[in-house]
């Protein structure tokens, strides 16, 4: 998945550490085998390469992630789209086309319009009972905005099954905490902040991950500059363009990391004002950082986050 992972848990006597690590890595390997666009043999890659009109069966977990992504796509009016893989590739952030490779150039408006015409979540036909999806032709699924969160949830459930109910799981910066540390404290974490730029509110934002997950989407994570123009890895799937709305980062708290992950991307795409309205409608605990007209970075908590801090 091109990222790192870490797991911390409160140990028990005579724990088989090697067995625990093997179980964790087996879960992560399963996510890659099902949902990686970098592995040609993955279930997602198999769907992306299927001829038009083909119905493809998906493993249960992979289908569940797709279903969650489609639900958030509908709730966010397409600000999150698990079927925007062609746009991700065109802008140089996918497996097929990289912005750091020789000969790369950003897509033309014609290429973007073509991707919008045959892609997108609304073009999918889904047979939920059989867990299968129809390839309309040229559509590419991409779970980069939700699969890390799913991996976090998957590891947390596996740890619970192994009897480790006090743990902190992290995959690529997305976290989920359960239970307590040995000193009786919850798993305290600081919400991610942009690495540079003054914030009006200088205080740290600490959150206790006690049965909670957190995911952060930020335009500072991955980007490139082309002819003096900065292109973020977060693509607005409605327009087919990298976001340029002044949102620098969005952190979302949720019971499930998968939902926190996808909502963080969707709210980044929506822009500060619409994102906060959406957060209130969905009762999401969100900390949004946006750049104001004066260039300063300001934090905007949602009503649900303020209620948690009260």
Instruction: Copy the structure tokens of residue 20.
Output: 């625990």
Give the pLDDT confidence of 38-54 residue by residue, as tens digits: 999 999 999 999 999 99
207 vs 306: CA distance, rounded Å: 12
- Contacts for 239 with CB less than 8 Å, ≥ 6 apart: none
Give the DSSP per-residue string, 225-258. EETTEEEES-EETTTTEE--SSEEEEEEEESSHH
In this structure, the number of other CB atoms found within 10 A of the CB of residue 140 comes to: 24
pLDDT of residue 122: 96
300 vs 310: CA distance, rounded Å: 16
pLDDT of residue 191: 85
Nearest to 216 by CA among 277, 267, 255, 152: 267
Instruction: Copy the structure tokens of residue 181.
Output: 């540390």
Any bridge partners for residue 214, and if so which?
175, 253
Q: What is the pTM of this model?
A: 0.93
142 vs 140: CA distance, rounded Å: 6
pLDDT of residue 225: 83
pLDDT of residue 256: 98
What is the residue extent of each domain of the chain? 172-309
55 vs 75: CA distance, rounded Å: 25
85 vs 215: CA distance, rounded Å: 21
Strands 132-134 and 167-171: unpaired
The H-or-E segment that residue 133 falls in is strand 132-134
25 vs 5: CA distance, rounded Å: 10
Secondary-structure percent of the chain, ordered helix, strand, coil, rounded to 5 = 35, 25, 40
175 vs 157: CA distance, rounded Å: 13
* Alpha-carbon distances, residue 31 vs 9, 105, 162, 208 (angstroms): 21, 31, 19, 27
Give the pLDDT confidence of 147-177 residue by residue, as tens digits: 999 999 999 999 999 989 999 999 999 999 9
Nearest to 251 by CA among 300, 179, 293: 300
Any bridge partners for residue 207, and if so which?
189
99 vs 37: CA distance, rounded Å: 16
Domain 172-309 = CATH 3.10.520.10: yes
Q: Is the dihedral of CA 51, 56, 61, 66 positive or negative?
A: positive
For the chain, where are the alpha helices, taking DSSP H only? 17-35, 43-48, 60-75, 85-90, 109-118, 147-161, 257-270, 272-282, 303-309
Give pLDDT tens digits along the chain (310 positions): 788 999 999 987 677 888 899 999 999 999 999 999 999 999 999 999 999 999 999 999 999 999 999 999 999 999 999 999 999 999 888 888 888 788 888 899 999 999 999 889 999 999 999 999 999 999 999 999 999 999 999 999 999 999 899 999 999 999 999 999 989 999 999 887 776 555 555 556 889 999 999 999 987 667 778 877 787 889 999 999 999 999 999 999 999 999 999 999 999 999 999 999 999 999 999 999 998 888 888 999 999 999 987 6
124 vs 217: CA distance, rounded Å: 26
């Amino acid at each position: 998945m091109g990222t790192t992972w870490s797991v911390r848990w409160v140990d028990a006597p005579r724990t088989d550490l090697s067995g625990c690590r093997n179980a964790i890595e087996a879960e992560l390997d399963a996510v890659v085998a099902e949902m990686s666009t970098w592995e040609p043999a993955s279930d997602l890659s198999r769907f992306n390469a299927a001829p038009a009109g083909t119905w493809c069966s998906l493993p249960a977990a992979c289908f569940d992630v797709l279903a969650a992504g489609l639900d958030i796509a509908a709730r966010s009016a397409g600000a999150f789209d698990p079927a925007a893989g062609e746009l991700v590739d065109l802008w140089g952030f996918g497996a097929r086309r990289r912005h750091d490779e020789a000969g790369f150039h950003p897509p033309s408006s014609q290429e973007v319009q073509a991707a919008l015409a045959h892609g997108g979540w609304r073009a999918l036909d889904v047979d939920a009972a059989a867990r299968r999806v129809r390839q309309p032709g040229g559509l590419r699924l991409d779970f980069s905005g939700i699969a890390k969160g799913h991996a976090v949830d998957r590891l947390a459930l596996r740890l619970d099954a192994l009897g480790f109910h006090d743990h902190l799981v992290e995959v690529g910066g997305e976290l989920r905490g359960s239970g307590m540390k040995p000193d009786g404290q919850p798993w305290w974490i600081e919400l991610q902040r942009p690495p540079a730029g003054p914030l009006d509110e200088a205080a740290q934002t600490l959150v206790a991950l006690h049965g909670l997950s957190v995911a952060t989407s930020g335009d500072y994570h991955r980007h490139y500059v082309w002819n003096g123009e900065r292109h973020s890895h977060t693509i607005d799937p409605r327009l087919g363009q990298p976001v340029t709305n002044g949102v620098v980062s969005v952190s979302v708290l949720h019971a499930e990391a998968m939902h926190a992950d996808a909502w963080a991307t969707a709210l980044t795409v929506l822009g500060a004002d619409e994102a906060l309205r959406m957060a209130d409608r969905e009762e999401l605990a969100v900390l949004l950082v946006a750049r104001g007209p004066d260039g300063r970075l300001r934090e905007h908590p949602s009503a649900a986050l303020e209620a948690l801090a009260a």
